[in-house]
Amino acid sequence: MDGTPRSGVISSWKPAWKRHEFTARPPEGELGPAWRDGAKRQGAHMSAATASIEHPDLRPVRRDERRQAFALLWRAARPDRRQLVVASALMLLAGGLEALGPIFGKLFIDEYLLPRRLEWFHVALLIAGIVISGCIASALRYFQLVRLAGVAMRSVRRLRESVYNHVLRLPMAFFDRAITGQLVSRITNDTEQIRQLYVQVLFEMLQGVTVLIGAVVAMAWLDWRLMLIVLTLIPATVLIVIGYQRLSAYAVMRSRELRSDINAQMGESIAGMSVLQATGAAGRFAARFAKTNREHYKARLGEVRANAWLLRPALDMLNILLIVAIIAAFGTQSFGALEIGLLYAFITYVARVVEPLISITMQFSLLQQALVAASRVNTLLDEGESQRVTHERRVGRGHLQLSDVSFGYDPQQPVLHDVSIDVPAGSFVGIVGHTGSGKSTLLSLLLRFYAPQAGRLEIDGIPLATIGDEHFRADVGLVPQEPFLLAASARENIDMGRNLPLMQIEAAARAANADGFIVALERGYDTPLGEGGARLSSGQKQLVAVARALAGAPRVLFLDEATSRIDSDTERQVAQAVSLLRGKTTVIAIAHRLSTIRAADRIFVLNHGRLAEQGTHDQLMAINGGIYQRLYLLQQIAE
């Protein structure tokens, strides 16, 4: 099944990690020791990949992970492989043209300069050859850089869309432990780091390799023995790169993880700013952020030190030693004036060889960061998706039956115990209980966010899990406790991408008693509501959420404490909207404010995950000392 609601299918759906103030977790109190211990729960329904999102894995990228990262990068770029082949061929041609320059210079020295035989026509041809070959090589490199930039942007677009779509299909158990800021960092920062790999690292390495190939071929043609001396640079460079990778791997991994922590802490603090300021916790959170920021600075400093010691300075030293070796090789044998041009060509080629090697090794810092980023993205992509259900079955009348259902986030510590509930089609039922009694967990099972570990959950006589995902989400609506509104117009917030007719949207708004204040806005239904519906009051946001649910004409409607944070007048309007659905839509309301479900056809009372009482309001109030009676009387006293 697909545990993640699609656009416009479950009304006002909000990701699990947004339903609590800071990090996400199942409803408070419903896990008991399992949440406090953490390890059992993590082992129960989280892979090691999920754990790595919350708890940084600071070991260097393993060889198999590096291969998987390269495979991921290739999959993203594979649709543009023809562009890569063309770019490589043209870059190779550019390298060959650039290698002609020292050969032309050697000919000029040996044939015209030293013999003092200046034939201006031939000299002009040599100069023209140097200029033209250099200009063509530069033009080819420019156009290939543009080509590779296009490949990079398309590849990163594919990768980012793939990661985002994968996240939307992950089971809700994943989001119980994932941290929003770190997930956002995976989708944005890490994929952006990969873009730099395609644009900068790939271009620089491709350019360096092609120049290196051209220079080696030219040197072999001139003098293969001197070429062998120059080629000693390559194994020396490989050793330098291996040393750099070993010294910098931890620092790079640590830096990426701490950047994710910085994003997570910033997102967490901004989302809970009112709580931080009201409780005087701003200073403590600032100190925590400063500590993380300092650790990130130290990790980056370690990476910079590895770069400073092992890359450019080491290769510059090799360059000097290599020139000394070539001059010494010339000094140990007698040579005539004609070999001065050869010496010039080889010294020039040494620079041509060393510079690409320096350029290539300087990119290993970015390559290391990109591989770490790709490995982190790959870890997220390896997280198992919810099993999709493709049956054509749909919700019929909306008759729900739970038979001996048991469930626990940790199977060893059940939250629900043998719950049996019968909800007739078209009825209005309420589910109440103390905090931690299992109400929200039961709702999660009914919404197919989780599957029960025991018992049967059926709708219209067929297993709930066999209803097709698309049909189930289209036939079920949800009004959450905290309404989720887009930074879009009122019409778009009600429509949620379903392309509903305006008349249907307006009818739903009227049924939810939201039409009045929407029409009063300066642009009516096309008025932008601001981020999170900032232009609306809490009650108005909830009415928009109700209108969104009603616009889809659901067969089953779930109200998740939809009136707990609104005033009495708005509660009355929500109750009026719900009353219009009786007999047509099955309504299941989880209620903290018991006045909301007083008129329900049946009320189910949960206590410590067990069904303790059931009946109408009057029947439950007749139970002396009953749970429902105590809850109701306490609320009456409080009001």
* Cβ-contact 33, 413 below 8 angstroms: yes
Predicted local confidence at residue 42, as pLDDT: 35
Calculate mean pLDDT across residues 211-219: 83
Predicted local confidence at residue 62, as pLDDT: 66
* Cβ-contact 580, 43 below 8 angstroms: no
* Cβ-contact 180, 188 below 8 angstroms: no
CATH number at residue 243: 1.20.1560.10
Question: Which residues, listed in sequence order, are joined to residue 588 by a DSSP beta bridge?
Answer: 429, 558
Task: Name which residue leads in pLDDT, 257 or 29.
Answer: 257
Calculate mean pLDDT across residues 483-487: 83
432 shares a domain with 329: no
Calculate mean pLDDT across residues 508-518: 88
Residue 292 forms part of a structural domain: yes
CATH number at residue 524: 3.40.50.300
197 shares a domain with 339: yes
Residue 106 forms part of a structural domain: yes
Task: Name which residue leads in pLDDT, 88 or 19.
Answer: 88
371 shares a domain with 431: no
pLDDT band for position 309 (50/70/90)? low
Q: Which domain holds residue 522?
A: 426-437+475-638
pLDDT tens digits for range 441-456: 898 888 888 888 898 9
Residue 556 forms part of a structural domain: yes
pLDDT tens digits for range 366-393: 777 777 777 778 778 877 666 666 566 7
Cβ neighbours around 15 below 10 Å, total: 17
pLDDT band for position 145 (50/70/90)? confident
Residue 446 forms part of a structural domain: no
Predicted local confidence at residue 129, as pLDDT: 85
Predicted local confidence at residue 344, as pLDDT: 79
Cβ neighbours around 368 below 10 Å, total: 25
Where does a domain end: 336, 355, 376?
A: 376
The reported pTM is 0.62
Distance CA 479, CA 548 (A): 8
Residue 181 forms part of a structural domain: yes
Closest CA to 84 of 34, 182, 155: 155
334 shares a domain with 433: no
Distance CA 443, CA 589 (A): 9
Q: Is the pLDDT score of 325 beyond 50?
A: yes
Distance CA 569, CA 395 (A): 33
494 shares a domain with 356: no
361 shares a domain with 291: yes
Residue 53 forms part of a structural domain: no
Distance CA 208, CA 93 (A): 13
**Count of domains for the chain:** 2
Q: Is the pLDDT score of 51 beyond 50?
A: no
432 shares a domain with 307: no
* Cα angle for residues 556, 557, 562 (degrees, 5° grid): 165
Distance CA 432, CA 591 (A): 6
487 shares a domain with 610: yes
Residue 402 forms part of a structural domain: no
334 shares a domain with 276: yes
Residue 634 forms part of a structural domain: yes
Q: How far is CA 323 from CA 146, 343, 608, in A?
A: 35, 10, 81
255 shares a domain with 115: yes
Predicted local confidence at residue 605, as pLDDT: 92
pLDDT band for position 46 (50/70/90)? very low
359 shares a domain with 431: no
